[in-house]
Amino acid sequence: MTTKLGGMLAGVAFGALTATAASAEDLVIFWAEWDPANYMQELVNEYEEETGISVTVETTPWSDFQTKAFTEFNARGSAYDMIIGDSQWLGAASEGGHYVDLTDFFKEHNLGEVMAPATVKYYAEYPGNSGKYWAIPAEGDAVGWSYRKDWFEDPAEMAAFKEKYGYDLAPPATWAQMTDIAEFFHRPDEDRYGIAIYTDNSYDAMVMGVENALFSYGADLGDFETYKVEGYVNSPEAVAALENYKKLYGYTPPGWAKTFFVENNQAITEGLVAMSMNYFAFFPALLNEATNPHAANTGFFANPAGPGGDQFAALGGQGISVVKYSENQEESMKFLEWFIKDETQKRWAELGGYTASAAVLESEEFRKATPYNEAFYQTMFKVKDFWAVPEFAELLTSANQRLYPFIVGDEGTAEETLNALAADWTATFKKYGRGE
């Protein structure tokens, strides 16, 4: 009897020990709740098949993502081993000591050349041009546009457009053309509207939208080396860009005052608008007949050029970092070694992820895989991003406080708005001793 009992206890103890050992090898990746996270879970399931180490992609809604991630960092918590964090977080997470320094890993695997240059610059390196890397580019993303091909290709519409504007109706090559097309299709009486843009002033939605105009107009947010913003964010080009963005707001559907990626995809699926701004990561849903009744008639184009011929787009996307407080750092590094392999990156793209691997991006196979991949490929080589300094959220708040009343509330002028924003940002940088 005693032997039996002893045996049972030993069995339980062994079970408990092996369970602990197995759980120590389980990895958790934290990301926002969206389709790419589901594709990532599919991808990492294959890692488990190969190695026996399970990887879980834990998600939270976008609105909560930054707060939840930093709450865990601030508590020095080990709940997540890796995080696929926003590019703007690099400063806060690296200076705060929350990310593991991946510089050696980066150099060892020559990732500066393996990954597309823009993704290395914005998703991985901080401070800019420092040669210090904190993340591996994971999900490339940028803002692009979807449009109603059937509206654009309707012979009656084409003739009417040509008569009114003197050139052919086609996906716009410039912001001026895009404004004309938005004006042309804006017919509230027919429940048809010109365009859908980002207007949500919480976090970075509207700012990313405005950046598309600003960058293509040849303006910049500031000098990322000296933190000088006067003469950049309020330059004549920036003023003209903001005026154009506000003009586009006039061609949006009614109630378009708190809109981000969900609403902008809905604008297409509900047949409301001719053109809609959105991140490429949300375009797969627009090609799905189940989620978009107009899927067969939806086309895509890259962010158009500004009056001076400059063509840039606001960067989205994220890099994957190892959390400093993870108890499985070694296993996480092994996972990253698997993740950066060419075949993994190819598989990642096949599953629907937007790889940042230059080789995969440049391949004909990738560029022809979907109707938007070509636009994505073109865009990823001309992207610019928001400030990645630790106080980026304060800079976003100032931008939202200044831009929103002008764009949506019709308060003041573009010049006054951007002058006030430049003053706010200068004060914030001064407060944190930057550029001194």
Partner 1 sequence: MASDVMTKLDPKSKAAAKGFSDLTIRNLFIIPTIVFLIVFNIFPLLYSLGYSFTDFRASTNNPAKFVGLQNYRDLLSDPFIWKNFSITAKYVLISVTGQVVVGFGLAMLLNRTLPLKGLITTLLLLPMMLSMAVVGLFWKLLYDPNFGIINYFLGLGKFEWLADPDVALWAIAIVDIWMWAPFVMLLSLAGLSAVPKHLYEAAEIDRAGSLYTFFRITLPMVAPILMIAIIFRTMEAFKTFDLAYVLSSQPTTELIAIRLYKMAFQEWQTGMSSAFAYIVLIMVVAITNIYVKYLNKVKAR
Cis preceding linkage at 253, omega within 30: no
β-pair type (318-322, 136-139):
antiparallel
Say how far apart CA 333 and CA 351 lie, in whole Å: 23
Task: Decide if residue 236 touches partner 1 (CB under 8 A).
Answer: no
Cβ proximity to partner 1: between 176 and 393 the closer is 393
Least distance (Å) from partner 1 to the CB of residue 55? 26
| Site string (194-233) toward partner 1, x via CB under 8 A | ------xxxx------------------------------
CA nearest to 349, candidates 141, 201, 121: 141
Residue of 176, 257, 333, 351 that binds partner 1 (CB under 8 A): 257
Residue 77 near partner 1 by CB under 8 A: no
Instruction: Spell out, one character per residue from 370 to 399, where the chain touches partner 1: x when CB under 8 A holds, - when not.
Output: --------------------xx-xx-xx--
Each residue 78-97 as x (binds partner 1 by CB under 8 A) or -, in order, gives: --------------x--xxx
What single string gives the DSSP state of each residue in 361-392?
Answer: HHSHHHHTTSTTHHHHHHHTTSEE----STTH
Residue type, 433: G
User: Please, which residue, 113 or 411, has the CB nearer to partner 1?
Assistant: 411
Which residues, 16 to 45, sit near partner 1 by CB under 8 A? none
55 vs 208, beta carbon nearer partner 1:
208
Shortest CB 58 distance to partner 1, Å: 19
Contacting residues for 65 by C-beta, under 8 A, at least 6 apart: 31, 32, 86
∠ CA 390-197-251, rounded to 5°: 145
Q: Which one, 111 or 206, has the nearer CB to partner 1?
A: 206
Instruction: Pick the closer one to partner 1 by CB: 194 or 253.
Output: 253
Which residues, in sequence order, are CB contacts of 171 under 8 Å at separation 6+?
145, 147, 152, 299, 301
Other beta carbons within 10 angstroms of residue 12's beta carbon come to 10
Q: At what angle do helices 175-185 and 155-165 cross, to 10 degrees?
A: 120
Number of residues located near partner 1, criterion CB under 8 A: 36
Sheet strand arrangement including 298-302: 193-196, 273-279, 143-148, 298-302
Using CB under 8 A as the binding rule, whether residue 254 contacts partner 1 is answered as yes
SS3 35: helix
**Residue 74 touches partner 1, criterion: CB under 8 A:** yes
Q: Which is nearer to partner 1, 151 or 256 (CB)?
A: 256
Q: Write out the residues near partner 1 by the rule CB under 8 A.
A: 66-67, 70-71, 73-74, 92, 95-97, 188, 191, 200-203, 253-258, 270, 272, 390-391, 393-394, 396-397, 400-401, 404-405, 408-409
